Amino acid sequence: MEVDAGVPGDAWGRQREPHVEKAIAVMQIDVAELIANGQPLALFGDNLFLSLDLSTENLPPGSRLRVGGALLQVTPMPHDGCHKFQARFGPDALRFVSKAELRHRNLRGVYLRTVESGEITPGDPVSVTERAPSPP
């Protein structure tokens, strides 16, 4: 992961005007596996799948994570399901991750930005280094 560049080689960096607050897409692994129902997780298009509660109660925007050698920060940008998500996983999956009463759980995931560059490899430890104050 690189500061202001996210994942080297990722499509995000090739956008005409990449938004630094959406550099890294992350999803909770157990939610992804439930929705994928045996399909490859690559279909989500996310950069990382973590065994971590991504809810706003656990990881409010501004919270920081150490993943491998990189320091990452949760951004306030909403990570919503899109037309690709619906085409790949169906309208029921999109409705599930979009339910207003479940929005705080961030079932579709969160976006991160890189604070400190570093290498990340599968199986690297993940730790919350700083929890931001919860939104009102």
Please say whether the dihedral angle defined by the alpha carbons of residues 95, 99, 103 and 105, taken in this order, is positive or negative. Answer: negative
Q: Which residue has the higher pLDDT, 33 or 20?
A: 33
Tell me the CATH number of domain 11-118, given options 3.40.309.10, 3.40.50.2300, 1.10.10.10, 2.40.33.20: 2.40.33.20
* Sign for the pseudo-dihedral over CA of 71, 40, 56, 75: positive
Q: Which residues face 103 on adjacent strands?
A: none
- Sign of the Cα pseudo-torsion (33, 35, 39, 43, in order): negative
19 falls in which pLDDT band (50, 70, 90)?
Answer: low
From first CA to last CA, the distance across the chain in angstroms is 31
pLDDT in tens, 54-113: 999 999 999 999 999 999 999 998 888 788 889 999 999 999 999 999 999 999 999 999
Q: Average of pLDDT values for 10-16?
A: 54
Q: What integer best gives the mean pLDDT of the chain?
A: 87
Say if residues 102 and 31 touch (Cβ distance below 8 Å). Answer: no
Residue 126 pLDDT more than 70? yes
How far, in Å, CA of 12 to CA of 123, rounded? 23
Nearest to 1, CA basis, from 58, 63, 73, 52: 73
Residues 53 and 30: beta-carbon distance below 8 Å: no
Structure tokens at 117: 């560059």
pLDDT at 13 over 60: no
Residue 65, φ and ψ in degrees, nearest 5: -125, 140
Of 52, 72, 18, the C-alpha closest to 63 is 72
